[in-house]
Amino acid sequence: MVIVFVLVIPVIIALMGVLHWYVWRRLVRDTTAPGTLWRRLGTAVFVAGPAFMLTAFLGSWAGLPFGLVRVLSWPAYLWIAVALYLLLGVLAGEVLRPALTWLLRRRATRASATAQAPAPEPVTVPDGTPASLPADPPAADTGVAAPADLSRRMFAARLVGGAAAAVAVGTVGYGTYGVLRGPRVKRVTVPLATLPRSAHGFRIAVVSDIHLGPVLGRGFAEKVVATVNSTQADLIAVVGDLVDGSVGELRSSVEPLSALRARHGAFFVTGNHEYISGAEQWTEHVQELGMKLLANQRVELPAFDLAGVNDVTGEDHDDGPDLATALADRDPSRTSVLLAHQPVFVDQAVRHGVDLQLSGHTHGGQLWPMNYVAELANPTVAGLERYGDTQLYVSRGAGAWGPPTRVGAPSDVTVVELASLQA
């Protein structure tokens, strides 16, 4: 594993370097003159951004204080999002820039031809006096306000590059605001054939992927708790990826979660990031916060069975999911609801006759067009879908990983309302 890590990291760094050089070339070199202030400022941004990224990524492993990592993470992660949309804008500009240059050249040629046209021969009337001629038409408007020493090519590069930068910064700014204001409540009704009439309308608040860590801290946790409690759900399901950091680093950040309230309590299952952050310590601490851990376990509620399994990442830590154990000796006539962090576990849920699986993990893609990448690794990226007799609901998550930004995948706390077909 260490060997793979050592080999992969240099490749990733080299790829990031090439992509940054390409975007810098289009946005800075092609739009500024050598030695100018704008060239220096643009180059400084494209050096500082990757430097913050590398320092923030490697800081924790290098033993930097968590407070310093937290300070570095904001510019580092925001730069990732901005760089992504700068890259997309530059790629779009590869099509737009030549077309704009051609249009400018065509209009300039027409204007030049009009200005150099020969004057018409004077016209006389029968008495020999010259006839009055209409005034010369006004010179054609080229529509180009560029200075004379600015070539059409550079003008097009500046126009396209400026538009790409404005769209990238605006997109990331709005997407970051959407995360920091806290998740919105989403509601979905799930009909279950075996659910008794007495449980019709039972509401489960599904909370996933909060990702408290260097960027999202205590204030964000308070917003999530307020949103969840406002739903007045019957049960709260926290389906993994609660944190990005150790208990010691994030003890204050997660403290507000002790205020989660529901009639049947709050339940927790691990996600892949818990295993990165120290699953054993976190599974102990979430119970101290008042959540009930479902580690390959089941509880029998009055109307249905609620089961939870460890994340599939736990297999690398001898702590993987075991649905057979979780469902052992249960009454198969009762409705079963399963908490499993990753949607890919639905195959196991189908084999074991689970009625409904609640998951997260995907973030809905978080940053468009990454949703298309997420689709390659997950059966469902967001929403409700049926697989055989099992229904799978995947939340987009309450927080964000990496950049505190979402584009095309708004964060949510989902209230899943169970519906009995007998009602």
The token pair at 69 is: 């990592």
b/e per residue, 279-297, with b = 16+ CB within 10 A? beebbebbeebebbbbbbb
Cα 200 from Cα 357, distance rounded (Å): 18
pLDDT of residue 152: 75
- Over pLDDT 70: what percentage of the chain? 88
| Spatial separation of the C-alpha atoms in residues 367 and 387, rounded to whole Å | 27
pLDDT digit string, tens, across residues 322-370: 999 999 999 999 999 999 999 999 999 999 999 999 999 999 999 999 9
Angstrom CA distances, 200 to 171, 264, 284, 392, 416, stand at: 41, 15, 34, 19, 12
Position 106 scores a pLDDT of 75
pLDDT (0 to 100) of residue 115: 66
DSSP β-ladder status, 304-308 and 335-339: parallel
User: Tell me, what's the pLDDT at 186?
Assistant: 97
Q: What whole-number distance in Å separates Cα of residue 387 and Cα of residue 89?
A: 38
CA-based nearest residue to 215, from 176, 178, 256, 184? 176
> Which pLDDT value is given to residue 135?
47
d(CA 84, CA 360): 24
CB atoms within 10 A of CB 187: 12
The residues of the chain scoring below 50 in pLDDT are 1, 131-149
pLDDT score, position 150? 56
Residue 1: predicted pLDDT: 46
Q: How far apart are CA 332 and CA 318, in angstroms?
A: 29
Tokens of 133: 């001629």
Task: Tell me the DSSP string of 71-86.
Answer: HHHHHHHHHHHHHHHH
269 has which bridge partners? 239
pTM score, whole prediction: 0.86
- Alpha helices by DSSP H, listed for 25-65, are 37-59
Q: What are the CA-CA distances from residue 222 to residues 22, 181, 219 (Å)?
A: 41, 11, 5
Residues 238-265 have pLDDT tens digits of 999 999 999 999 999 999 999 999 999 9
CB-CB contact of 208 with 239 (8 Å): yes
* Conformational region of residue 329, where left means phi above 0, alpha means psi within -120 to 50, and beta covers everything else: left
